[in-house]
């Protein structure tokens, strides 16, 4: 079905498909987004399908569904401890763009940049979402099941849910999450296997740097909300993956020849 839709104008397909899905989600009893969140997700979905086709759309939907599910791990326990996501994990517009703004910029960039630079942007797209899923999984699993949590900058033991806290359980969950999303990106043909490795490494780097930001800068600036930190996090992940690829090509392949 998805392959068949490729024969139509991608922007018309994007508008029609997202309108139908928005209507279904709006009427469904189980809400994953706020009303405004659904409208912003519609815009996001149109932009991603219009630029990257069903493959890019599949990746962002995979992130959204898995990320929403991960947020609900140990929800009652996290709510009782006061460390759960607001609105019990129901996402608003700020969450939509905090997670996907970097990826959307990469996707839109493919319209204006020719091959091989398009391939770098596609890698950045996948890496940004792998980074965000890694961050979400590490945070939510760590808050629910982390036995020992430490402040990343000092390794001082701290309570679960502390900004900048890390745990073994959360870290492993983050690595697994980024690996799964990266493999999905490979399976739909957006990146090759080398790209999978770069996305996993980039997500690990960015997720840990995000913890450093949370432990040091986030409390110092009122404007540095969780959503702003998420944008910085995904941007670091995208840039790191692209730099890793360029370094690899320079050292091993001797040129820009990704696929």
Q: Give per-residue pLDDT as tens, 3-36.
A: 555 556 889 999 999 999 988 988 887 777 888 9
248 compared with 55, residue with greater pLDDT = 55
pLDDT surpassing 50 at residue 258:
no
CA distances from 88 to 31, 76, 79 (A): 11, 9, 8
Q: How far apart are CA 238 and CA 242, in angstroms?
A: 6
What are the φ/ψ torsions at residue 33 (nearest 5 degrees)?
A: -135, 160
Q: Give per-residue pLDDT as tens, 117-170.
A: 899 999 999 999 999 999 999 999 988 888 898 999 888 988 887 888 899 999
pLDDT score, position 161: 76
- Per DSSP (E only), the strands in 145-187 are 149-151, 165-167
Residues 6+ away with beta carbon under 8 Å from 121:
106, 107, 109, 110, 113
pLDDT score, position 188: 97
Listed residue (168, 178, 221) closest to 199, CA to CA: 178
Q: How far apart are CA 60 and CA 231, in angstroms?
A: 15
Mean pLDDT, rounded, for 79-104: 76
Q: Give per-residue pLDDT as tens, 174-206.
A: 999 999 999 999 999 999 999 999 999 999 999
Q: How far apart are CA 131 and CA 147, in angstroms?
A: 23
């Amino acid at each position: 079905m998805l392959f068949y839709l490729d024969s139509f104008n991608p922007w018309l397909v994007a508008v029609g498909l997202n309108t139908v899905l928005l209507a279904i989600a709006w009427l469904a009893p189980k809400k994953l987004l706020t009303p405004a969140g659904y409208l912003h997700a519609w815009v996001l979905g149109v932009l991603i399908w219009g630029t990257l086709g069903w493959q890019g759309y599949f990746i962002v939907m995979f992130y959204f569904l898995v990320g929403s599910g991960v947020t609900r791990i140990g929800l009652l326990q996290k709510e009782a401890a006061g460390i759960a996501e607001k609105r019990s994990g129901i996402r608003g517009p700020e969450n939509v763009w905090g997670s996907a703004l970097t990826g959307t910029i990469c996707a839109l960039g493919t319209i204006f940049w020719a091959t091989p630079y398009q391939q770098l942007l596609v890698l950045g797209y996948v890496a940004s979402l792998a980074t965000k899923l890694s961050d979400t999984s590490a945070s939510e699993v760590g808050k629910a099941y982390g036995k020992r949590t430490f402040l990343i900058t000092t390794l001082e033991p701290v309570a679960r849910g502390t900004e900048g806290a890390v745990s073994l359980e959360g870290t492993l969950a983050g690595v697994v999450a980024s690996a799964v999303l990266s493999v999905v990106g490979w399976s739909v043909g957006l990146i090759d296997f080398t790209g999978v490795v770069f996305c996993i490494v980039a997500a690990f780097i960015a997720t840990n740097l995000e913890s450093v930001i949370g432990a040091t800068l986030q409390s110092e600036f009122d404007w540095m909300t969780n959503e702003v930190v998420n944008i910085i996090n995904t941007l670091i992940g995208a840039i790191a993956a692209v730099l890793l690829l360029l370094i690899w090509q320079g050292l091993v392949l001797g040129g820009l020849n990704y696929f």
